[in-house]
Amino acid sequence: MQIAQHCFALMGFAYTPPWSVNAGFIVGDEKTLIVDSGPHILAAATIEGYAHAVRPSNQLLLINTERHLDHISGNSHFADNGVEVYGHVGIQRQNSELKSDIDEYIACTPNAVRRKREEAAIVFTGTRIINPIYKITSEIKFNLGNLNAEVLLTPGHTPTNLCVFVPAERVLFCGDSVVSRYLPNLEGGSVRDWQQWLSTLDRIVALEAEVLVCGHGPILQGDNVPKEIQRVRTIIERAILGKKAPTSYESGK
């Protein structure tokens, strides 16, 4: 969907329930910056198709907002087609790690026969892990042709999280720094990480973005932007106080 003159969001790529994952792209006069490559190469091909359809003549670039595989597993599709792949220097994943994601996806298949046949793995056919080629160590700016996209370091969810801000249109592609309606995923972090996440939320608020493309869940606009940021903040503050991830509370652990 088009969310601003130059900004587009692609939503709801299937992933391990309850998660679906989003991506997007920003179109300048000369270059199109794709934000995240999706959970497999089928998603990546869909993202590429929409980006080309909007402006066929543009050079494509790709940036990953973090290290988790639902955001980077389509990288190989782009790299194989000559697209420059950018991401945090700390993104270093292996093909062997993909298997656990596929196994979890298979396990969610309701029908026992289809589960035994591992039919859910079909969606991952040909997917392999490619880490970013161009490694980001500091904040940078992409000139896409009469349009700038700013890459901000926003650790917390993981140390590798980035946001991409388009100041001219007040649009922020925030990855999992803000998730819409979901409980934020704190399971892999520590109290120190969660404290960093609160600082990241402070920075996001200061940007005064009018539209947020979250890594998961619906697009946020208008009054929903500060409401969802505050909701995520409250959950993280509770996690820090109790030294437990929110899903630990929910499951009674």
Q: Hey, what domains does the chain have and what are their CATH numbers?
A: 7-250 (3.60.15.10)
* 207 band by pLDDT with thresholds 50, 70 and 90: very high
Among residues of the chain, what percentage have pLDDT more than 90? 96
pLDDT in tens, 63-94: 999 999 999 999 999 999 999 999 999 999 99
Max CA distance (Å), the chain? 54
Q: Whole-prediction pTM value?
A: 0.96
Cα–Cα distance between 240 and 233 in angstroms, integer?
11
Closest CA to 23 of 57, 56, 59, 60: 60
